[in-house]
Structure 1
Amino acid sequence: MSAVDVRRIAYQGEPGSNSHLVCQRHHPDHEAVACASFEDVFAAVEGGDAHLALIPIDNSLAGRVADIHHFLPESSLHIVGEHFLRIQFSLMALPGATVDTIRTVHSHVHALGQCRKVVRELGLTPVVSGDTAGAAREIAELGDPTQAAIAPPLAAEIYGLDILREDVEDEDHNTTRFVVLSRDYVEAPAGRGPVVTSFVFNVRNLPAALYKALGGFATNGVNMTKLESYMVDGQFTATQFLAEVDGHPADPGVARALEELAFFTHDVKVLGVYPAAPDRLDH
C-alpha cells in the first residue's frame, strides 16, 4: 500500500492520549493523526486530509464534552460509529524516579480532579497542563526526577517514562464515549443488530411544543437514550436539542416518532444512523 492509499483518522490531543489509544484499539488499519484542537480535527476530515475523525462526546463523571455539541450540527460530517473507553490513568515519571522523589504532578485539569486521592496521599503539588499526554511529554522534556505526570499508560510507552502507579483514578466507572465521523453518510443497515440514531432539532415557539414533539417516541415505544439542550448563537430564546434513540429510522416505531417530531420542530438534522457499540449496555 502506498502512502497515498493509507487511510487516516484524526483525533484531538497529543500522541499517547486516550483518543490516540481508541484509534489504535478500534481502527488499527488507520494512521492516527494528532490535531491541536477539535476545529482542526473537523477541518482535517472536511478538507480530505483524513478519512475519519474520532472525538469524545460524553464522560460518565464530567458529563458532555464542551464545544462538541456546537460543532456537530454545523459540520458536514456524519456519525458512523461509537466506542466506549474505560478511562485508566497512571502516575509516571522519569526512569529512576520513585514516589519518594516526586514533588509535583502535571496533568489536564479534569484528570487531576479525577485522581485527587493519589495526589493527596503522596502530598504532590498539582500543575495544570493542556493535555494528559502533553503532560507526560513535558515531564520527559524537563528531565526533573521531582516532577511526575498523570496520563494514560500509552503515554509512558511513547515518551519513555516509568509507571510508578497504575489505575490511580478515584472511580472505576470513569468512562468516555467517543464517536467516529466521516464525510460520507454511511447508514447502518436495518435489522442487523442494535442501531443508534442521533439527530438535532429546534422546537417551534408553541406552548408545550417540546412535550408534544417527544410524545411520539413514548407512544411508539422508542427508547430515547439522550436529550440535551444548548443555546444557539447565545440567544436565550433559541434552544437546540441533541437527541439519540435506540433504533433505525426505517423501523416503524422510529419512523412514526420522527414524523410526529417534525410537526412541532424545525431544522431536524440526522447526524448519523450507526451500529451501537457492543459494550453500550455495560455503560
Structure 2
Amino acid sequence: MKIGYQGTDGAYSHIASQILSPNSSYIGFYDFFDAFAALNQQTVDKIVIPIENSYAGRVADVHRLIAKNNIYFEAEYILKIQHQLLANHATKPQDITEILSHEQAIMQCQDNLKRIFATTTPKLIPVNDTADAAKRLMQSNNTTSAVIASSLSAKIYNLQIIHPDIQDAQDNFTNFILMSKKPSNHPFQNNKNYITSLIFAIDNKSGGLAKILNILCDHNIDLLKIESYIPGGVKSHKAEFFISCSGHTQDPNLSIAMPKLHASCLDVKLFGSYLADEKRL
C-alpha cells in the first residue's frame, strides 16, 4: 500500500500516515495539490491530509481541493502536536542564534521560546515545512542553528532534542483524514462511533441553512463541524457548506435523514461514513 502525504519525511502528516495506515510505504509531496494529483493518477493508493487544527482552524487549501476532487474519507486520526527543539549533536544551547520552522510551529511555541532563551534572542526564521527544516539542518552541520520539528524528524535526521515538548498549549491537535478514490467499506456496527462528512449546496436565501440543521436536529444527529464555501463569487445564487456529523449512513437516524437532505438541497456530495477517533469520545 502506497500512502501519500504533504511534506518531507518526519512531518506530522508522515506520523499520521504511519498511524492511519501502518506497514505501508509513504511518499511525501511538496504541496496538497501534488498529493491529490498523485491520488487521482493512482501514483499512490491513498493520501493522508490534515483538514483542521484546533488553533489555526481549517486548512483552506484542503477544503477547496476536496470540493473539486472525487474522493472518499476512510478514517480520521486526531494527532496531538508536540514540538521539539532540535539541533545537530555538536550544538550547545547557548550557541543557538537562529531557529527555523514553519510559521505555525513558531507561533505555537513563542512563549516557551522566550522562557528558554530568556537571556538571548535567537532569530526566528519561517520556512515551508518543519521536517524539511530538520533535513536541511542535518545536511548543513550548522552548530548555531536549531529547528522546531517532530520527534520523528529527530530520529530520521539524527538530531538531538535540545528541549522537548516546547509547544505552549497542551491541547494542540490536528485532524488528519485518510482519503481514497473508492467509498469506504465500513459496515455499520451498533457498538462503534462514526462520522459522516459531506458538502451540500442550497439556495442562498433566508432559512435555507436552518432547514438543513433542523433535519439533523429532528433525527438526533450531532453536528460536529460546519464550514462555508462561496462558490462562483460573492453574489452566487447558492451557498455551499461542508459538514461532519455523528452517525453512519446506515444507522437508524442518518439513514432516514439523508433522503430528506437530498430533497432539501440543490446538490449533496457525500464523502462517506468512517470510524471516529477515540479522542472524540
TM-score calculated relative to the size of structure 1: 0.93
Question: Where does residue 232 of structure 1 map in the other structure?
Answer: 231
| Secondary structure class of the residue paired with 2:55 | coil
**Counterpart among 19, 23, 26 of residue 13 in structure 2:** 19
- Structure 1 pair 44–167 and aligned structure 2 pair: CA distance change class (3 A): same
Question: Where does residue 116 of structure 1 map in the other structure?
Answer: 110
Question: Where does residue 162 of structure 2 map in the other structure?
Answer: 164
**Counterpart among 187, 190, 207 of residue 188 in structure 2:** 190
- Structure 1 pair 205–150 and aligned structure 2 pair: CA distance change class (3 A): closer
| Secondary structure class of the residue paired with 2:14 | helix
28-37 vs 243-252, greater mean Cα deviation: 243-252
Does 1:47 find its partner at 2:18?
Answer: no
Residues of 2 paired with 1:207 and 1:24: CA distance? 45
Question: Where does residue 256 of structure 2 map in the other structure?
Answer: 256
Where in structure 2 are there 5+ consecutive unaligned residues?
none
Residues of 2 paired with 1:256 and 1:135: CA distance? 50
TM-score calculated relative to the size of structure 2: 0.93
| Secondary structure class of the residue paired with 2:230 | strand
Residues of 2 paired with 1:15 and 1:236: CA distance? 43
Question: Where does residue 138 of structure 2 map in the other structure?
Answer: 140
Does 1:57 find its partner at 2:51?
Answer: yes
Q: In the TM superposition, what whole-angstrom CA distance separates every residue of 1:107-155 from its partner, at most 9, and x where no partner exists? A: 0000000000232231221001100001111222232211110000111
| Secondary structure class of the residue paired with 1:100 | helix
| CA RMSD, 1 decimal | 1.4
- Structure 1 pair 205–171 and aligned structure 2 pair: CA distance change class (3 A): closer
Question: 2:248·2:273 contact (CA, 8 Å) conserved in 1?
Answer: yes
**Counterpart among 165, 177, 180 of residue 178 in structure 2:** 180
| Secondary structure class of the residue paired with 1:156 | helix
Number of aligned residue pairs: 275
Residues of 2 paired with 1:234 and 1:99: CA distance? 51
Residues of 2 paired with 1:196 and 1:33: CA distance? 27
Question: Where does residue 88 of structure 1 map in the other structure?
Answer: 82
Amino acid in structure 2 at the alignment position of 1:124: P
Amino acid in structure 2 at the alignment position of 1:168: I
245-254 vs 46-55, greater mean Cα deviation: 245-254
Question: 1:11·1:41 contact (CA, 8 Å) conserved in 2?
Answer: yes
- Structure 1 pair 234–107 and aligned structure 2 pair: CA distance change class (3 A): farther
Question: 2:49·2:177 contact (CA, 8 Å) conserved in 1?
Answer: yes
Where in structure 1 are there 5+ consecutive unaligned residues?
1-6
Does 1:98 find its partner at 2:92?
Answer: yes
Residues of 2 paired with 1:205 and 1:170: CA distance? 41
Question: 1:214·1:261 contact (CA, 8 Å) conserved in 2?
Answer: no
Question: 1:222·1:247 contact (CA, 8 Å) conserved in 2?
Answer: yes
Question: Where does residue 207 of structure 1 map in the other structure?
Answer: 206
Residues of 2 paired with 1:145 and 1:26: CA distance? 36
- Structure 1 pair 26–186 and aligned structure 2 pair: CA distance change class (3 A): closer
| Deviation of 1:34 (Å) | 0.6
| Secondary structure class of the residue paired with 1:163 | strand
Question: 1:59·1:175 contact (CA, 8 Å) conserved in 2?
Answer: yes
Question: 1:204·1:264 contact (CA, 8 Å) conserved in 2?
Answer: no
Using the aligned pairs only, state the percent identity: 32
Does 1:79 find its partner at 2:79?
Answer: no
Residues of 2 paired with 1:234 and 1:90: CA distance? 42
